[in-house]
Each structure stands twice: as structure tokens, then as C-alpha cells.
Amino acid sequence: MDLLSPIKDHHSEKRLFISRVILSVVVGMVLLGTVVARLVQLQVVEHEVFAEKSAGNRVRIEALAPNRGLIFDRRGRVLAQNLPAYQLELIPEQVPDLTDTLRRLAGLGLIDKEDIPRITDLSNEGLRFKPVTLRFNLSEDEIANFAIQRPRFPGVDLQPRLVRHYPNGLDVAHVIGYVGALSSSDMERLDRTEYAGTSHTGKTGVEYQNESLLHGGAGYQQVVTNARGRQVPADPSDLAQSTLQRVAPRPGTNLHLSLDLDLQIVATQSLAGRRGSVVAIDPNNGEVLALVSTPSFDPNVFALGMTRSDFNELQYNLDRPLFNRAVRGTYPPGSTIKPMLSLAALEVGATNLTRKTYCPGYYSLPGSTHRYRDWKPQGHGEMDLHDAIEQSCDVYFYEISRQIGIDRMHFYLDQFGLGQLTGIDMVGEKAGLLPSRAWKRGAFREPADQTWFPGETVIASIGQGYMTATPLQLANATATLAARGARFVPRLVAATEDPISGERTIRSPRRLSDVQIDNEFYWDSIIAAMNGVMQGEAGTARAVGRGAPYSMAGKSGTAQVFTVAQDETYDEEEVEERLRDHALFIAFAPLEEPQIAVAVVVENGSSGSRVAAPIARAVMDRYLGHATDAL
């Protein structure tokens, strides 16, 4: 054994070192090759892709909101427009003390104290360089007041904007509707791309129904930004230029309505202080000339923004100013259906033009002691069909209802559009109710409640019981009477207009199936009786029709709000105002060539002839170019 063997093996260590160096060089070369390959891929192969992404980080696309289309009446008068206005805006990052700034603005009356928490949340949640709107549409005094105080409010400034404005807001609120701030539910049904730069949308009426036309198309512009997203000049030598490319928005389509602003104003003034509705239609084509519901509201406050308390005041008002009675209010039509029912009775042979019925002031079904009372307690005496319409004799119609029957009554009244949607170009319309045996079988669960009783036919003959109709339906039915059975779909939009070229596109009337009354003489007879209502010696509305420079036809109606027991008397002066009868009236004129058909409903007005008829006369006088002292 060699006890002097070496402690270190220099050759082995050298070989190990060299092998490690070679391995390190190989690994380094592989890693370097990977880096070079990746650089080649990024800078050569995918150069265009990453160049676009880089430009995207540098350029921000901002949406440009289009100008909303204008709305005009039939004579070209503006009903909805866009006006320049100044709004107060705040840029959070430029405000040293947000709480103190808002408090001082509230002290100047430029914002409401109750809005401070909302504004604070908006300022803290969004990008700090994005403006937050504090107030819309400042008055001249408020603008002047802030201009003086501006140095005290860094980060707060006035900015010009376009806001929706309704010059005759109260007169057209329910038919034109209003625009309001976009909500989450709005964005679910709208194209987010088109509305990226828009803050408001149509909420009700024509504004909502025609939103796709009125809104127009959004534009965009490319804005140069820095790493924090702030706008910077595209060219450092031109500090004012920060936009690379701009595509102008397409303005919304203008609408020309069939409405007559004069009629809207007259109808609104005539209903002042009352809850009710007036609808006027051209019987020759279905154009809606007036559509009014009162009480009304100012639609401008929705476009400008309103506080929650202001909205609640409207929403929970007992008189329901936000409720569109013209298309959504359903009322028993009362005696206004008698002319239509008379045509049905003549057509099916339930009566004729010479048959007379004695009216003692009440009617009883055979074998029954129950009395269905006439509006005239002492009775009308001997009545033929003409007299029964002219004097609105209930007993005459009680009697013939037995021969007509509820199902044939339904068949003919349905042809006049009762109990169904009219199809008007406005959302939210109610269909009303036109009862029949089949309807009752489907409306009630209990078999005992599904039976149709003879007494229900009796009260249906004077437009009571289950039967209800909207003022729009009554006006449309009246237009059908005036046109002797010709029917049209009521419409508001008469034409659309390209805002750039000015080219108009006229919308044609939509005609429906005519009412199935074969004998033309029946129309003559019933219309003559309606003329007697207003201009006959015994007509129920003769006081209103007297002295008119044109011939007219009409029919009054009174609809009970609550049931009076058979042995009780009804004294309207002793009954609470909201429990009094509704007053209704339908009319058209001139008699020979009708140009306008009107329906009036006055809630709790008590008398159709005394309260509702003068309103119809005022509307017809205005449209036909005659002064009136009927009101």
C-alpha cells in the first residue's frame, strides 16, 4: 500500500471545470438564442400587431353624441327642440377640497344640499380627470353669479351643452313625452355603441316610440393621451391640436306630427282644473289632431334632471299628473255607445225607425221586480229611435238590448274598435273591455260567476257594467261614425324628414275593414239623431250646439263611479267630488263632410252635456276656424 498517494487530482479538477464552462456557455447560448428569437418575433414577425396596440395605448376613441331629431306639429311649429345651455361641471383632480367646494356651491344656491352625497360618490368613483356634472341648464343669473365667484372654485367651470326643450311643455307632455337620463334598464335594450356618448333617451310618448329615428347615429374622434389617460397634443409643436381623426355623428330624423298645437292648447285650457282627457281625430285618414290628458306636468324638468323628492311629488300626487288618461285611462263609455248600438239594432232587426217605446222612467225585465232607472226619473214618454238618441232615453235601449243580445252587441261594437287596441303609434295603450259570454267564461274561475245574466245585458246597453273604453277608443269610434263605417288606424307621425337634405317621407294612412252595416239609410238616420242631440229642439246638448255656424253631431254620456241602491236618490252636491259621475261627450263636424271627431272625458264631471260638451265644441270651433263662447 502506497502511503504517499496525492491529496488533489489536478487533471480531474481541470476536466470538471472545463465541462462546467462548456455547459454554462451552451446554456447561455440557448438562453441568448431564445431572447433573440423572441425579439425577432416581436420586432419583425409581429411588428404590425404590437404597433397597433402601442398606438391604442396612445390614442383613445371618444364617442360623439348626435343631435337629437326635432319634432314639429302639422303646421311646422316646434314641439321639441335642442337648445344650447350651460351646465356646471367639476374635475375632481383639480379640486383641492371637494367637501368644502360643494358646501360653498350649495351656499350660493348653485347646487342642492341633498345632492352633495351623490356628487361626492360620482367624483370618487370615476376617473379623477373626467368632469362630473353638478347642474344642468343654469339661468343667466346663476351663470353671472358663478362667473364672479369662479376664482374661488378651482376645478369648477361652466360648459356649453345641448339640452332637450319643449316650448309648450304642459300642453304636449303626455303625447310628446320626455327624455331622461339613461338607466341600466335602458342600456339593456339599446345599442351601447350608439349610445356611448349619449346621456339621455326617450322615456314616454313620441320620444320613446320613435327613439331609433330621433337619436341618430353616434360619431367618434381619436384623441391622443398620455400613460395616465389624459388628453395631450398630437403634435408637440401644436398644443391646441389633440385629435387625430374625427367622424361626425349623424343627426336624428325630424318628425312632423299630425297634431295641431292650437287644438292642444285649447283642449288643455278647457280642461284646466279638471282631471280628464280630450282626443281629436281626422275621420278621413286617422290622423290624431289633439291628444290631451290633464292634469299635466312640465317635461323639461326630466330633461334637465330633477331631485328624488320632486319626482316623488309627481309620482304620488293624488291627481296622477304622470298618468296618460287619453290612452291608458279606462272608463265606462256610458250613453256614448248608443249611436253605435242603434246601428246594430237596426241591422239585426231589434228595432226600426218607427217603433216606439213608452218610457215611464224605469224598466223591468219580464218576471222581475227590479227596476233599471232612466236618468230622467219622470220618464220620457213615447220614444222612437231618433228621440231616444236625441234625448238619451235609457229605457228605450234597455228594451232593445234583449233583442240584440250581448254577443251580437259585442260583435258590432267590436267593429267600432271598442275593447281592442287601436294600434296608435304610441306605447302604453290600454285595450279597455268589451264583455261577452265567452269573455265572462274566461274571466272568472267559479262556474257560478261565469253565467251571463240578462240584467248584465241591460246595463251594457247604456255603456255600464263591465264595459270600459279609453278616450282614444271613443274618439276613434266617433271618427268611424263620421266616416259612415270607414276605419283607419290612428296615427301621430305624419312624415319624417332627413335633417341634412330636408327630404320628407310621407306616411300613408292605414285603413281597416269597414263596419258591416249594409243599409246606407241607417247611417243617415243615426247621424241625423246625433245632430238632434246638439241642434235639435229637445237635444240633451242643444245649449252647446245652439248658434253654431256649422252643423254638428254629438252624443253625451254619464258613467257612474259607484252603485246607488234602488231606493236611494242621487244628489251630486252631497256626494264627495271623486265619487261623482264621469262626464263624457263625443262629437264630429261638419255634418256633411266631417273633418274632425272629438271625444271628451271629464272625471267626476257629473254631466256630459253640461261639462264635457262645451269642451268638444271649443275644440271643433278652433279647428274649423270659428270663435267660440261655449265655455
Please report the DSSP string for 345-398 in residue order: HHHHTS--SS--EEE-SEE--TT----EE-SSTT--EEE-HHHHHHTT-HHHHH
Cell of 435: 264583455
Contact 296, 500 (CB under 8 A): no
Q: 158 and 86 in contact (C-beta within 8 Å)? A: yes
Q: Which amino acid is at 27?
A: V
What would the 3-class secondary structure string for 45-104 be? Answer: HCHHHHHHHHHHHHEEEEEECCCCCCEECCCCCEEEEEEEEEEEEECHHHCCCHHHHHHH
Q: Where are the domains of the chain?
A: 88-135
pLDDT score, position 226: 62
Q: What type of residue sits at position 245?
A: Q
- At residue 50, the pLDDT reads 63
Q: Which three cell numbers stand for residue 521?
A: 239609410
Catalytic residue status for 183: no
Grid cell listed for 312: 316623488
**pLDDT, position 426:** 94
DSSP 3-state assignment of 409? helix
SS3 of the chain: helix, strand, coil, percent, to 5: 40, 20, 40
State the DSSP string of 103-125.
Answer: HHHHHTTSS-GGGHHHHHHHHHH
Report how far residue 405's alpha carbon sits from residue 350's, in angstroms, rounded to the nearest whole number: 9
CA of 348: how far to CAs of 320, 345, 392, 403, 517, in Å?
43, 5, 21, 9, 10
- What integer pLDDT is reported at residue 188 of this predicted model? 82
Catalytic annotation, pick one of 335, 392, 436, 525: 335
Mean pLDDT by 10-residue block, N- to C-terminus, for the chain (631 residues)? Answer: 60 79 86 85 74 60 85 96 86 84 86 80 70 77 85 85 90 94 79 79 94 90 64 54 74 96 96 93 97 95 78 88 95 96 95 94 91 92 95 95 95 96 95 95 91 94 95 97 96 96 94 92 96 93 92 91 55 68 94 96 88 95 75 46
Helices 116-125, 98-107: axis angle to 10 degrees equals: 150
